[in-house]
């Protein structure tokens, strides 16, 4: 349930989400501003920018990451902070006023709903026959209202757009059978297929159905090239929410995975990569290299493939990172007795235990 006060206590699961956001922006900002003269950051449910006991909210986190970034950002960065509550928006403005915002940063605090303001932005871009600037949209509602799938789809039709969506599964599941919600759910999912979920009695099967439907809508209906999902698990081992990350950039997937693995190094939170609910993985402080090896062998046994193909498989089809498989898996497979992989051609200096780009291996 949304808080009724202007400021409220920071929940642990929100703190975890903010840590992921911070980590990702540290990577996203220098990359996007290096190659683009103007970029756009949207916080669709900005809030007051501060919690009751002084912790920073997501708008202030984003601004500070840009202001203090070691890359010394020179491109124009436009921040759109959207908030429906007038009192919260006023507090946010007060928080922003305490910062020394560079002249190449443009900050707009907009009163109103996320869907209404983003529609106006996209309509304006269309009317002007322009392209939307490279955009990162943080869509972080308390529940599931005013986040129509049609708008997410429309946003992602633009090049160089990325979204990080909080999908409030606990609230969505609670109201699946409520007679007042069908229109809201039709809008949220962009289809009526969700209605089948109410007849799924097993809780885990229902969760998988709902999760997979939204994932499929992003992949198929919105044609998002790469979609990853991450589950936030509360201390009672219940699903608080899913984070869905959508992008057209392979490198962005790598940076988001880096953010997720680094965020979990603290051990304070439980995340799971749930892109494939049949092979979900609970993040830990150390990757499960035996599991990764099993996945690689299952995919490539008997095949000759490049190391680059293995990397793409690891990044796109597993929860692991591109830094997790060469020294920790392939090197041990090469030196095993008997060997578990064979080098067909090795680029570079042909040193045993190294796997430069272009190297061809056979998984035995």
Residues shown for the chain:
364
Count of Cβ atoms closer than 10 Å to residue 345 Cβ: 11
Predicted local distance difference test score (pLDDT) of residue 176: 92
pLDDT band at 269 (very low <50, low <70, confident <90, very high): low
pLDDT reading at 264 higher than 70:
no
Predicted local distance difference test score (pLDDT) of residue 348: 81
The residue-averaged pLDDT of 259-267 equals: 70
- Dihedral, CA of residue 309, residue 310, residue 314 and residue 316, to nearest 10: 10
pLDDT band at 328 (very low <50, low <70, confident <90, very high): very high
Q: Please tell me which residue, 4 or 195, carries the higher pLDDT value.
A: 195
**Of 180-194, 279-293, 302-316, 337-351, where does mean pLDDT reach its minimum?**
279-293
Predicted local distance difference test score (pLDDT) of residue 237: 79
Q: Are 280 and 231 within 8 A, CB to CB?
A: yes
pLDDT band at 326 (very low <50, low <70, confident <90, very high): very high
Strands 239-247 and 226-233: antiparallel
CA 243 – CA 125 distance, rounded (Å): 28
pLDDT reading at 315 higher than 90:
yes
Q: Give the helix/strand (H/E) hosting 311.
A: helix 307-317
pLDDT reading at 359 higher than 70:
yes
pLDDT reading at 57 higher than 60:
yes
pLDDT reading at 153 higher than 90:
yes
What is the 8-class DSSP label of residue 146? T
Q: Which residue has the tokens 């997790």?
A: 324
Residue 78: name the closest of 26, 131, 137, 130 by CA.
Answer: 137
CA 314 – CA 296 distance, rounded (Å): 8
Predicted local distance difference test score (pLDDT) of residue 270: 77
Q: Give the chain's end-to-end CA distance (angstroms, integer).
A: 54
Strands 304-306 and 360-363: antiparallel
Give just the sign of the alpha carbon dihedral 28, 261, 9, 243.
positive
pTM of this structure: 0.94
Predicted local distance difference test score (pLDDT) of residue 149: 97
Q: Which two tokens stand for residue 342?
A: 């064979």
The residue-averaged pLDDT of 307-332 equals: 96
The residue-averaged pLDDT of 333-359 equals: 93
The residue-averaged pLDDT of 297-324 equals: 96
Predicted local distance difference test score (pLDDT) of residue 80: 98
- Dihedral, CA of residue 150, residue 151, residue 154 and residue 158, to nearest 10: -150
pLDDT reading at 42 higher than 60:
yes
The residue-averaged pLDDT of 249-276 equals: 81
CA 227 – CA 101 distance, rounded (Å): 33
Radius of gyration from C-alpha coordinates of the chain: 22
pLDDT reading at 152 higher than 90:
yes
Peptide bond into 338 cis (omega under 30): yes
Predicted local distance difference test score (pLDDT) of residue 266: 52
- pLDDT, mean over the chain: 93
What is the 8-class DSSP label of residue 350? -
Count of Cβ atoms closer than 10 Å to residue 325 Cβ: 26
Q: Which residues contact 42 (CB under 8 A, 6 or more apart)?
A: 80, 82, 118, 135, 136, 137, 138
CA 144 – CA 85 distance, rounded (Å): 17
Q: Which two tokens stand for residue 195?
A: 């209605």
What percent of the chain clears pLDDT 90, i.e. is strictly above it? 80
Predicted local distance difference test score (pLDDT) of residue 117: 97
The residue-averaged pLDDT of 210-232 equals: 96
Q: Which strands, in side-by-side order, build the sheet including 304-306?
A: 304-306, 360-363, 341-345
Predicted local distance difference test score (pLDDT) of residue 265: 54
**Any bridge partners for residue 41, and if so which?**
79, 136
**Of 71-85, 104-118, 230-244, where does mean pLDDT reach its minimum?**
230-244
Domains located in the chain, CATH noted: 12-282 (3.40.50), 289-363 (1.10.10)
Predicted local distance difference test score (pLDDT) of residue 12: 81
167-181 exposure pattern, b = at least 16 Cβ within 10 A, e = fewer: bbbebbbeebeeeeb
pLDDT reading at 85 higher than 90:
yes
């Amino acid at each position: 349930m949304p808080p009724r006060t202007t400021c409220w206590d920071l929940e642990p699961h929100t703190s975890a989400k903010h840590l992921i956001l911070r980590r990702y922006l540290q990577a996203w900002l220098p990359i996007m501003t290096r190659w683009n003269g103007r970029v756009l950051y949207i916080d669709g449910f900005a809030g007051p920018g501060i919690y009751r006991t002084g912790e920073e909210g997501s708008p202030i986190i984003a601004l500070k990451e840009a202001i203090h970034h070691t890359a010394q950002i020179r491109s124009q960065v436009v921040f759109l902070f959207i908030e429906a509550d007038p009192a919260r928006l006023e507090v946010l403005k007060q928080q922003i006023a305490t910062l020394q915002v560079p002249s190449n940063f443009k900050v707009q605090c907009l009163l109103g709903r996320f869907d209404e303001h983003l529609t106006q932005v996209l309509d304006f871009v269309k009317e002007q026959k322009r392209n939307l600037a490279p955009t990162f949209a943080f869509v972080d509602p308390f529940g599931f209202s005013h986040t129509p799938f049609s708008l997410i789809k429309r946003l992602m039709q633009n090049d160089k757009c990325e979204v990080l969506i909080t999908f409030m599964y606990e609230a969505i599941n609670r109201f699946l059978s409520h007679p007042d919600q069908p229109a809201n759910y039709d809008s949220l999912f962009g289809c009526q297929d969700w209605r089948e979920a109410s007849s799924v009695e097993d809780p885990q099967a229902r969760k998988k159905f709902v999760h997979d439907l939204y994932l499929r809508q992003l992949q198929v209906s919105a044609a998002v090239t790469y979609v990853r999902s991450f589950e936030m698990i509360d201390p009672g081992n219940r699903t608080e929410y899913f984070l869905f990350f959508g992008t057209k950039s392979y490198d962005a997937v790598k940076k988001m995975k880096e953010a997720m693995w680094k965020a979990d190094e603290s051990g304070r939170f439980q995340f799971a990569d749930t892109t494939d609910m049949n092979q979900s993985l609970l993040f830990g402080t150390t990757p499960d290299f035996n599991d990764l090896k099993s996945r690689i062998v299952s995919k490539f046994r008997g095949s000759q493939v490049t190391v680059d193909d293995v990397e793409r498989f690891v990044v796109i089809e597993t929860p692991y990172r591109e830094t997790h498989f060469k020294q920790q898996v392939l090197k041990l497979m090469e030196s095993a007795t008997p060997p578990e992989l064979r080098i067909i051609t090795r680029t570079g200096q042909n040193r045993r235990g190294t796997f430069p780009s272009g190297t061809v291996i056979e998984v035995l």
